[in-house]
Structure 1
Amino acid sequence: MATIKDIATAAGVSLATVSRVINNGPKVGDATRERVKKIMEEMGYRPNANARALVTKRSASLGVVIPEFHDPFFATLAHGIETVTRKQEVQILLSAGSIEQSTERRAIETLLEHRVEAMVVHSKALPDEEIIQFASQIPGFMLINRYIPEIANRCVWLDNEAGGQIMAEHMIKQGHSKLAVISSRYQIADPAMRLQGIRNAMAEFGLSVPDSHIEYGTPDQEGGEQAVQNLLARGIEFTGIMAYNDAMASGAMSMLQDHNLEIPGQVSVIGYDDVLLAKYCRPKLTTLRYPIEMMAARAAELALSYASGNTKTSEDTYKYTPTIVKRESVGRPPSR
């Protein structure tokens, strides 16, 4: 493989001149620049990304850690990051954390072994202390979908408690008082915060969600189906379901329809995330829009900026709030 020295020899110029051409630097005539570029092409020369990063003081790659690849939510997150890296001509190194401490830790350490100085990390399993330690070691470390006060300027996060409150308020204002919740069984902050927001909203209206009206399952369609099946098997009365995410909501709708229950005529369903699936449910799913693509793009921009030496004060924070998307799956409860 040709080296920068080979290019300089073939073009009859100095190493510094070739370096300036590679990095679009000044002080190189047009004719010389074109001659060097032509020789680079003829010899199949490819610039070293890491070496170029040292010259331009920009990160050559951005590491991304997400729980899994097949979930539409995380695919949207990755797309948001890609819109930034494509513009800045930065390579993405992608790894899965699987919401397990050892896997998340190894994913981050592997990126460090590749000398990645800019990262967007979706970690739910690692303790706060370990995340704080990584943030102190990695110049461009950004945490997405989680808030740790000690590293507030490294966190891009969603107010899940506010989301739960918005969800419940919408159902209550439609006239629902008998509400069921299907939530994620994973022991992470997101489902707990959403449930707390639901409880807060219902308390403001003099209502409550009994524990018997809450079902936990895997945060996917199968989990939603099983949760509704359990509620129906126990004879729980409800006119509305608040789901942890759109996948669980769509699974819940499928099970309700299997039991000949009309949506929203007999049971209303509201989801969370507003992934593409929500638009293609029948009926179309009312949900909370999680601006994950916007959040991911912001996290990528900050990670690359921090890795380049631009710093922010610890008082900076990047909080987002979900908004409701009204479609067809929520209506007024049936009259007796």
Structure 2
Amino acid sequence: MITIKDIAEAANVSPATVSRVINNGPKVGPKTREHVKAVMDKMGYRPNINARALVTQKSTSLGLVLAELMDPFFATYADAIEKAARKANTQLLMSSGSVQADTELKAIETLLNHRVKAMVVHAKFLDDDTLIELSKQAPGFVLINRYIDAIKHRCVWLDNVAGGRIMAEYVLKFGHRKIAVISSDFAIEDREGREQGITESLSEWGIELNDSQIVHAAPNQEGGEIAMRQLLASGARFTAILAYNDAMAAGAINTLYDHNLEVPKDVSVMGFDDVLQAQFCRPKLTTMNYPIELMASQAASLALDYAQGKQPDTDVTYKYLPTIVARSSVARCIG
């Protein structure tokens, strides 16, 4: 095994100089630094990152737990975390929690077993008490897209109730009064919050959203198609559809066209998330922008800071609001 001493002899410098180069330390000139790096590369030397972390007292890895690898929303989330890790010169360790409590727990424990001190965790199915206990095992434990009051300073989250209200108010201002909702079949706070916000907003306009106007299905394009077919088969009357996410909205639009209904001429459709897919729907999808890139960057910064000893302000939480992205799938109601 090649050691620092071997590198020092080959580069004709002291072991202390090699150590400074490895740890990006001071007191090494640019030419010497490049020379030592070249020797390290030539000899195939790879620093021990765990030992380096012990010496520098700096976290050398950032953990990431996400739900699904194929979902465009989580791809955007992972990309933002990766950029933050690269900017901090930190390696990224990713673990998938799928959409079950036991796999979420396993994903987090995998990172803990690798002695990861900084991690950004997306967990929707583990209960609050379990997550609170897990947060005690890693100083840089930060939750994204989840709010728990007891650890609110470790939460970077979206106000889904406000998001639901904004959606409803938007289509109401376009004259729509017959509104239906296609939502996720996962019993998670995102769905509950958005439905609550929609229901509250409609109620303020004297409109009741009954059970026949809300359909739950898988939160993907196929689920949107299934939910839309179910709504049409039920005979429910609507001029606007509010979808849980952009994928479900895209599926709903496909089904509407299959039934010779045009969007937005016959039915307006609004999504949520503003993933890339929303820009390439036909028509282009009016949606709610979920600022996941900003939230992910914030979460990564907090995780790394906390892991390096920064004391959190326990009275602070990090709440974000979604905003409307107006495109072409919502139009004024004429009937």
Q: TM-score, normalised by structure 2?
A: 0.96
Partner AA of 2:199 in structure 1: R
Q: Equivalents in 2 of 1:34, 1:99: separation in Å?
A: 46
- The answer on 1:250 being equivalent to 2:270 is no
2:88 aligned partner: 88
Change (3 A) 1:31 1:179: closer
Segments of structure 2 that go 5 or more residues without pairing to the other structure are none
1:239 aligned partner: 239
Structure 1, residues 38-72: CA drift from partner, whole Å, max 9, x if none? 43233221222222223333211111111110000
Q: CA deviation at 1:32?
A: 5.6
Q: Equivalents in 1 of 2:6, 2:303: separation in Å?
A: 35
- The answer on 1:17 being equivalent to 2:20 is no
Q: CA deviation at 1:34?
A: 5.5
Change (3 A) 1:188 1:33: closer
Q: Equivalents in 1 of 2:10, 2:264: separation in Å?
A: 74
- The answer on 1:166 being equivalent to 2:166 is yes
The 10-residue stretch of structure 1 (105-114 or 14-23) with the greater mean CA deviation from structure 2 = 14-23
The 3-state SS of whatever aligns with 1:137 is: coil
The 10-residue stretch of structure 1 (201-210 or 36-45) with the greater mean CA deviation from structure 2 = 36-45
Partner AA of 1:21 in structure 2: V
Aligned length: 335
Segments of structure 1 that go 5 or more residues without pairing to the other structure are none
**1:91-106 superposed matches below 5 A:** 91-106=91-106
Q: Equivalents in 2 of 1:220, 1:332: separation in Å?
A: 27
Q: CA deviation at 1:13?
A: 4.8
2:62 aligned partner: 62
The 10-residue stretch of structure 1 (17-26 or 301-310) with the greater mean CA deviation from structure 2 = 17-26
The 3-state SS of whatever aligns with 1:263 is: coil
1:199 aligned partner: 199
Change (3 A) 1:115 1:266: same
Structure 1, residues 299-320: CA drift from partner, whole Å, max 9, x if none? 1111111111112111111100
2:295 aligned partner: 295
1:259 aligned partner: 259
Change (3 A) 1:33 1:240: closer
Structure 1, residues 63-115: CA drift from partner, whole Å, max 9, x if none? 11111100000000001111111111211111111121110111111111111
1:114 aligned partner: 114
- The answer on 1:212 being equivalent to 2:212 is yes
After superposition, the CA RMSD in angstroms is 1.5
Q: Equivalents in 1 of 2:201, 2:294: separation in Å?
A: 27
Q: Equivalents in 2 of 1:64, 1:38: separation in Å?
A: 32
Q: CA deviation at 1:31?
A: 6.8
